[in-house]
Amino acid sequence: MLRTQVGVTSTAVPQESVVRRLSTLDRFLALWILAAMGVGLALGALVPGLDSTLASVEVAGVSLPIAVGLLLMMYPVLAKVRYREMGRVTADRRLMAASLVLNWIVGPAFMFVLAWLLLPDLPAYRTGLIIVGLARCIAMVLIWNDLACGDREAAAVLVAINSIFQVIAFAALGWFYLQVLPGWLGLATTSADFSVTAIVLSVAVFLGVPLVAGFLTRLVGERRHGRDWYEGTFLPRLGPLALYGLLFTIVMLFALQGDAITDAPLDVARIALPLLAYFFGMFGVSWLLGSRLGMGYEKTATLAFTAAGNNFELAIAVAIATFGATSGQALAGVVGPLIEVPVLVALVYVALRLRPASPPDRKATS
């Protein structure tokens, strides 16, 4: 992984040097992701019944192969977290307050506005996008943050907070944005029932399991061999597993949903427009806010990626459980990672380009 190779203290390293020192896997990640998308679509098209076979076994409402990929993807990143430094993160009220506002007020409201402005004639897709806006990222954001050399401990804390809020607030926010707010504005309302149990199970499996595994790995590894061995020898060997897990997840996701994507290319393009506006808009606003608050590069990057990313696995599971696997709402969720993955990979490079010009953390230097 980028941060392991470059080093935690490399904030002054020029962008060109950072890119040169990346592994082949990291340096050409965008190409590998595009290739994984292509492989997934080809598998879905060329292997009859593959989608039904892969979807026949589920874990927390998600296909077993995708569940395995998610766990493989998250475990190495969470094994890198320095859990003893978590108190430093939670003590930063700027970061905590900014993240809560961006994730649970700005993000859902922004997606609601975009969905109604750009999809006024497509209620199913519009509803699917609103559900996506409510599902705050708890998985892939750890990958993007790590590649951008963000604050790993801060990312883990913000992901945990998003998970807790997801359990508490997802159903209520769904009711508000699909029924209450449209009614106030004189717009069409959508009825939907959300399973709190399904949300709790999803968070427990896809965050809880790798979080516990990562914590125990660091605890045991440092006790037996020391921190120098753990971070200098073990983590560089473990790190690539996260990106392999990411690529595997993308292949499986697109193999499962390939027909829905290839059968409706114009619909996919319509859904993509608000998603593109959302990702770039949330990232830009979050970056400006982090810079304005003087958070420094690492925390600003973490704030931006955690605000811009979404939990498409949860959104897809909710859409399928509520509206059906062949619904427009489910298709909107499926298009999400098709757009999110390459866009956030591009934003990783944008963040790294901005890194040399980013001021230091005002609080750390005061």
Mean pLDDT on 52-59 = 74
Mean pLDDT on 298-318 = 87
pLDDT greater than 80 at residue 28: no
Q: What is the C-alpha to C-alpha distance for residues 246 and 221, in angstroms, rounded to an integer?
A: 24
Share of the chain above pLDDT 90, in %: 32
Per-residue pLDDT, 68: 85
Per-residue pLDDT, 1: 38
Least trusted range by pLDDT, from 75-79, 203-207, 218-222, 224-228: 203-207
**15 closest CA partner among 26, 28, 6, 4:** 6
Residues with Cβ < 8 Å from 112, sequence gap 6 or more?
130, 133, 177, 181
Per-residue pLDDT, 25: 67
Q: What is the C-alpha to C-alpha distance for residues 94 and 8, in angstroms, rounded to an integer?
A: 22
In whole numbers, what is the pLDDT of the chain averaged over residues? 82
pLDDT greater than 80 at residue 61: no
User: Which DSSP string corresponds to 34-88?
Assistant: HHHHHHHHHHHHHSTTHHHHHTTSEETTEEHHHHHHHHHHHHHHHHH--GGGHHH
Q: What is the C-alpha to C-alpha distance for residues 242 and 238, in angstroms, rounded to an integer?
A: 8
179-197 residue pLDDT tens: 899 999 999 988 777 666 6
Structure tokens at 188: 């069409």
User: Which DSSP string corresponds to 197-265?
Assistant: HHHHHHHIIIIIHHHHHHHHHHHHHHHHH-HHHIIIIIHHHHTHHHHHHHHHHHHHHHHHHHHHHHS-H
Per-residue pLDDT, 108: 96
Tell me the whole-structure pTM to 2 decimals.
0.77
Q: How would residue 330 be classed by pLDDT, with cut points 50, 70 and 90? A: confident
Mean pLDDT on 290-316 = 89
Q: What are phi and psi of 133, to 5 degrees?
A: -65, -25
332-366 residue pLDDT tens: 887 887 788 889 888 998 999 999 888 887 776 55
Mean pLDDT on 249-257 = 78
pLDDT greater than 70 at residue 6: no
Give one word for 63, left, alpha or beta, with left for phi > 0 and alpha for psi -120 to 50: beta
Structure tokens at 104: 């649970």
Structure tokens at 8: 């935690």
Q: What is the C-alpha to C-alpha distance for residues 328 and 129, in angstroms, rounded to an integer?
A: 10
pLDDT greater than 90 at residue 36: no
Per-residue pLDDT, 284: 96
Mean pLDDT on 276-297 = 95
Per-residue pLDDT, 152: 86
Per-residue pLDDT, 74: 76
pLDDT greater than 70 at residue 24: no
Q: Does residue 346 or residue 12 have the better pLDDT?
A: 346
Dihedral over alpha carbons 136, 154, 7, 140 (to 10 degrees): -10
Per-residue pLDDT, 22: 53
* Highest-pLDDT range among 65-74, 285-294, 319-328, 338-347: 285-294
Per-residue pLDDT, 290: 94
Least trusted range by pLDDT, from 6-10, 223-227, 362-366: 6-10
Q: What is the C-alpha to C-alpha distance for residues 80 and 152, in angstroms, rounded to an integer?
A: 8
Q: What is the C-alpha to C-alpha distance for residues 192 and 149, in angstroms, rounded to an integer?
A: 39
pLDDT greater than 50 at residue 3: no
pLDDT greater than 80 at residue 39: yes
Per-residue pLDDT, 8: 37
Per-residue pLDDT, 139: 65
